[in-house]
Every structure is written in structure tokens, then in C-alpha cells.
Amino acid sequence: MKIPKIDITDGFLRVREYNRKDAESLSHLITENRSELNHTFPLTVKRTATASEAADYIGDKIREREQGVNAFCGIFLNDGTLIGQFNFTKFDWNVPKCEAGYFINKALNGKGFATAATRLCMHWAFNEIGIEKITLRIWPQNHASIAVARKLGAREVGLAHNDFRSADGKLYDSMIFELLK
């Protein structure tokens, strides 16, 4: 199933699919946050080192959305400043369910942007494309992301051991949270 383009706002934040014009901003955002993102978003970090690479990454993510595989979006302030990323992955249209992930520029942590953007995206997924369950896999040391999940009312369902391979090549555990429609 083709996933429709995401372009939603709450009047303060806008979450929309990247376009190639966002490549330089995306590469800059990743560079600024590389040390924080290397652990939890290693493929994004690897593929966006330059604006040219980021443009290719964006093109790939648009194709993946059109194929019903993933939906990657930028989180923008209303003035157009890119401050983070939100993504839906691992869609299973038989249930229907998916996983979600997000990050915010480290300079803006603790200001509610991740919670607001995630709430906006969850509402879209549940109400616009009929998702019934969204899973969040969170590195146990990512206390800010755990707090976002809890603020949104996600239920902690357990710990998945050796669940995620980071940029350092090691396997790490993930805390599993679920949100139901």
C-alpha cells in the first residue's frame, strides 16, 4: 500500500516529508548531532554526511514511502527551520501496525518538541491511514525518549535483548513501548 505524503501541523510545528531542497539542512542537522545519533540512527548518519548524500537519502526515502515501506519526515518550526526527524518503519498492513522513531536537535532537547511532533504523527497514523498499533523501540539509556513515550501514554511491554546494532557494531537492548489506537 502506498503511504500518503505526510504534511501536518499543529500551528507551531510542521512535520512533512523531506524533499531534495532539504538536503543541506538535513546534512547540517545530522552533523551537529552526530555523536548523539551514531548510536540510535547509524544508517541515517552514514548516509547524510554531505548535502549530495543527503539528497540521495531523501530520494530513497520518498521511493520507500511510495512502496509502502517507510515514511521519513522532517520536523520543522513554522519558520521552516529543520529541528528533527520523525519516521514510520516496518509497516505490516495486515494488522495494520508499524514502528516509529524520532530525534530532535540536541540544542532543543527538553522543550517538548519531540512529544508534540510524535503526538501529531501518531494522530495522523491512527486517523488518516488506519494504523492500529505503533511500536517504539528505545535504547534504555535514552531517558529523554523514554519520557516522551510515557508522556504519550505508551505502554512499556518489555525489553528486547540484542535488538539493535549500533554504529560501533555492537548489539544493544531496546525497551519496547506500544501505543494502541
Is 146 within a domain?
Answer: no
> pLDDT band at residue 2, thresholds of 50, 70 and 90?
confident
Cβ-Cβ contacts under 8 Å for 129 (sequence gap 6 or more) = 3, 4, 96
Query: Across residues 113-120, what is the average pLDDT?
Result: 97
Query: What CATH number has the domain bearing residue 114?
Result: 3.40.630.30
Determine contact, residues 5/65, Cβ cutoff 8 Å: yes
- Tens digits of residue pLDDT in 125-171: 999 999 999 999 999 999 999 999 999 999 999 999 999 888 888 99
Is 176 within a domain?
Answer: no
Determine contact, residues 160/178, Cβ cutoff 8 Å: no
Is 34 within a domain?
Answer: yes
Between strands 97-104 and 13-17, the pairing is unpaired
Buried b / exposed e along 17-52 (16+ C-beta atoms within 10 A): bbeeebbebbbebbeebeebbbbbbbebbebbeeee
Is 59 within a domain?
Answer: yes
Percent of the chain with pLDDT over 70: 100
Instruction: Reply yes or no on whether the pLDDT at 76 is more than 80.
Output: yes
Its pTM surpasses 0.75? yes
Is 159 within a domain?
Answer: no
Cβ neighbourhood burial of 100 (10 Å; 0-12, 13-18, 19+): buried
Is 41 within a domain?
Answer: yes
Q: Comparing C-alpha atoms, which of 33, 170, 22 is closest to residue 114?
A: 33
Domain that holds residue 79: 7-132
Residue 167 region by backbone torsions, left for phi larger than 0, else alpha for psi between -120 and 50, else beta: alpha
Is 178 within a domain?
Answer: no
Is 150 within a domain?
Answer: no
Predicted local confidence at residue 75, as pLDDT: 98
Total domains in the chain come to: 1
Cα gap 147→79, rounded to integer Å:
27
Determine contact, residues 47/57, Cβ cutoff 8 Å: yes
